Structure formats: C-alpha cells, structure tokens
C-alpha cells in the first residue's frame, strides 16, 4: 500500500535539514509499528520519500511524505500514532491512500505557494514601485551554482505564476507568491525577495524575512491542484496530461 501524508514543519523544526527530517520519519515509522516495504537489490532501503525540499529556516503548513507499506493501515490510526511519535513542530494533518497514483510525490510537484512577511525597516513601499518590479521584462536574481559556488544572474520571471502584496503596517509587507517548484526547475522565494528589495529600494532583511510554504501543487488542465488531491486521483493518463501541459507556453500571465 502507498500512503501520502501531509504534515507541518514549524517553530524550531524549521532549522532541521531535509535529510534529518527523512531520518526522523524513518525512526517514527518504527515507533508506529509500520511495516515499510523495501526496494530490491544489493542495498535495499525503505520506500519512504518526501516532496521538494524546504529551505532551511522556512516553515511550512503543507509538506508531503510518501511511504509504501507491506500491509494496509487505518488512516486515522496512522495520524494518531504518528503525531504521538513525532516531535513538536512536525505534525501529520492528513493522510490518503495513493495506490493508483503514478510516480512518486517529488516527480509531480509543479508549483509551491508561499506567505512571506518582509520587514521594511519602516520604509513605505508604494504601489508604483511594486508595479515597476513586476512589470519588468526580466526579473533577475543572483543564484549560486552549487558545484562552483559562483553566482550567476538568472531571469526568473517565467517561474512566477502569482505575486501579490499589501503593506500591513509601516514595518511589514505581506506577500503571497506562487512559484515554480518542480524537481528540475524551482525558484527560491528568498532570492525573489532580494530582487524585490533592490528594485523598491529597501534593505534586504535576509535574517528576519519569514517565509511559510502554504501548499505544493501539481498541474491538471492548466489548474493548480493540491498535491494531496493529485496523489488521490485515479484518472488514467494523468502523467501524460501533465507532460503535455508542461510543453505548452506558460500558464496565463505569470504576474
């Protein structure tokens, strides 16, 4: 049986790395007495996978875990025993059987939604300056290449599907963004905030910018569908549909 869990990662847990969270879940499954299925070959490993990694320091209310088990379990019991085995800050909020889903969860993610609190240091940001940012022909970020550790400029405008903002007080912008989050192409919202601050001429508060991932989406018929609902779908040919959608030009106007 395959199960997809949705879970939160908040508070001090935001400083726990992706690999450490994977290890945490393996230990939790043992405490839950869940019999995980194992891969074949010389070095079998438990079939437990996570969706797109969450950057260190980011919080999330919708992360996803996939497991394959040797037997069927009651879903309510999985959530109850799982939350008893997990530390504060990580909590299962939903689980679904995904026996008919094709591909693992990391392969079907297309976009991520983020709620961002951006301190402005008391500087007001005008509507004109924000519009000037999103109406640029190119939105350039400085991205570091992992292997060389060099920084390169990259145009990320095509990776932004939605970007809205409001100034809730003189010191804070609240920004909602839907950004590309596929396994082969993704935009870190922190890089986008750095580019925004440069254009609207406020200091970039890297250490105090709060980023919360609110959902991960896959693409169905040019519509964003939550990952939990995507994995629950039993529709034949869903993978082929997603492939065809990806080959089309960008969905609507990104911003």
Check whether domain 110-218 has CATH 3.30.70.3190, yes or no: yes
CA distances in angstroms from 197 to 154, 166, 234, listed in the order given: 17, 14, 44
Q: Please state, in angstroms and rounded to a whole number, the distance separating the CA atoms of residues 104 and 7.
A: 17
Q: Assign 250 a pLDDT band (cuts: 50, 70, 90).
A: very low
More confident residue, 235 or 219: 219
Q: What percent of the chain has pLDDT over 70?
A: 89
All residues at 6 or more sequence positions from 91 whose CB lies less than 8 Å from its CB, including other chains? 7, 8, 83
pLDDT reading at 141 higher than 50: yes
Banded model confidence at residue 53, pLDDT cuts 50, 70, 90: very high
Q: Residue 232's pLDDT band (boundaries 50, 70, 90)?
A: low
Per-residue confidence (pLDDT) for residue 145, from 0 to 100: 79
Banded pLDDT at 132 (limits 50, 70, 90): very high
The pTM score is: 0.88
Residues 6 or more apart from 76 whose CB is under 8 A from it? Answer: none
Residues contacting 245, CB < 8 A, separation 6+: 219, 220, 221, 222, 251
| CA distance linking residue 75 with residue 39, whole number of Å | 23
Q: Where are the domains of the chain?
A: 2-107, 110-218
Residue 240 has pLDDT above 50, yes or no: no
Was domain 2-107 assigned CATH 3.30.70.580? yes
* Three-class DSSP category at 20: helix
Interval 45-57 mean pLDDT? 93
pLDDT at 149 > cutoff 80: no
Long-range Cβ pairs for the range 16-25 (8 Å, 24+): 17/56, 18/50, 18/53, 18/54, 21/50, 21/90, 22/48, 22/50, 24/86, 24/87, 24/90, 25/50, 25/65
Position 231 confidence tier, pLDDT thresholds 50, 70, 90: confident
* β-sheet bridge partners, residue 142: 153
pLDDT given at position 252: 40
Matching fold, domains 2-107 and 110-218: yes
Does an H or E element contain 212, and which? strand 210-220
Q: What average pLDDT does the segment 165-187 reach?
A: 93
Report residue 100's pLDDT band, with 50, 70 and 90 as the boundaries: low
Task: With a cut of 70, say whether residue 130 has pLDDT above it.
Answer: yes
DSSP 219: E
Identify the band that residue 99 occupies on the pLDDT scale cut at 50, 70 and 90. confident
Tell me which of 243 and 181 has the higher pLDDT: 181
């Amino acid at each position: 049986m395959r199960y997809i869990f949705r879970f939160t990662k908040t508070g001090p847990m935001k400083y726990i790395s992706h690999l450490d969270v994977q290890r945490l879940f393996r230990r939790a499954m043992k405490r839950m007495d869940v019999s995980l299925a194992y891969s074949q070959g010389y070095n079998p490993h438990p079939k437990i996978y996570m969706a797109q990694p969450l950057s260190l320091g980011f919080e999330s209310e919708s992360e996803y875990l996939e497991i394959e088990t040797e037997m069927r379990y009651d879903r309510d019991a999985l959530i109850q025993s799982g939350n008893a085995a997990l530390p504060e800050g990580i909590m299962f909020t939903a689980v679904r059987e995904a026996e008919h889903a094709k591909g693992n969860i990391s392969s079907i993610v297309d976009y991520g939604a983020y709620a961002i609190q951006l301190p402005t240091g008391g500087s007001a940001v005008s509507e004109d300056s924000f519009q000037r940012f999103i109406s640029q022909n190119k939105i350039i970020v400085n991205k570091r290449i992992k292997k060389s550790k060099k920084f390169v400029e990259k145009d990320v405008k095509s990776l932004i599907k939605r970007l809205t903002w409001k100034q809730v007080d003189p010191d804070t912008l609240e920004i909602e963004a839907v950004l590309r989050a596929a396994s082969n192409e993704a935009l870190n919202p922190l890089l986008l905030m750095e580019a925004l601050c440069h254009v609207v001429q406020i200091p970039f508060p890297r250490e105090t910018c709060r980023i919360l991932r609110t959902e991960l989406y896959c693409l169905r018929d040019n519509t964003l569908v939550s990952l939990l609902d995507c994995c629950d779908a039993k529709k034949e040919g869903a993978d082929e549909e997603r492939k065809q959608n990806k080959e089309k030009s960008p969905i609507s106007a990104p911003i």
